[in-house]
Amino acid sequence: MTLPGCATRTVEVPVTREVPPVVKVKDKPPAELLRCPETPEGFPLDQVGQMSNATRAAAIRIGKAMGVNATRLRRLVNWLQPDACPAAAK
């Protein structure tokens, strides 16, 4: 049995371990670009009116494009930041 005082003294030296150069790249766009698409209130339903065929077709074109763009933007934001924009409530 060795008395603790007689044991050979070893100097504990911290061994420097280099940190692996693994860098996780997070290229997150600014918050401005991650905002969900705007969903303004639509036309009042109780309006009765008239519109020429050409104007109606143009309105439908514009409205359709707006809806498609909003859906695509929502998908894009959700891709970059999961579950950030839930699907529009119908």
Among 30, 32, 44, 54, binds other proteins (CB under 8 A): 44
Among 14, 27, 31, 34, binds other proteins (CB under 8 A): 14
**Nearest of 45, 63, 78 to residue 87 by alpha carbon:** 78
**Applying CB under 8 A, does 15 fall inside the site for other proteins?**
yes
81 with 34: CB under 8 angstroms?
yes
**Applying CB under 8 A, does 2 fall inside the site for other proteins?**
no
| Number of residues counted as binding other proteins (CB under 8 A) | 48
Amino acid at 46: D
**Applying CB under 8 A, does 36 fall inside the site for other proteins?**
no
CA distance 36 to 46: 29
**Applying CB under 8 A, does 78 fall inside the site for other proteins?**
yes
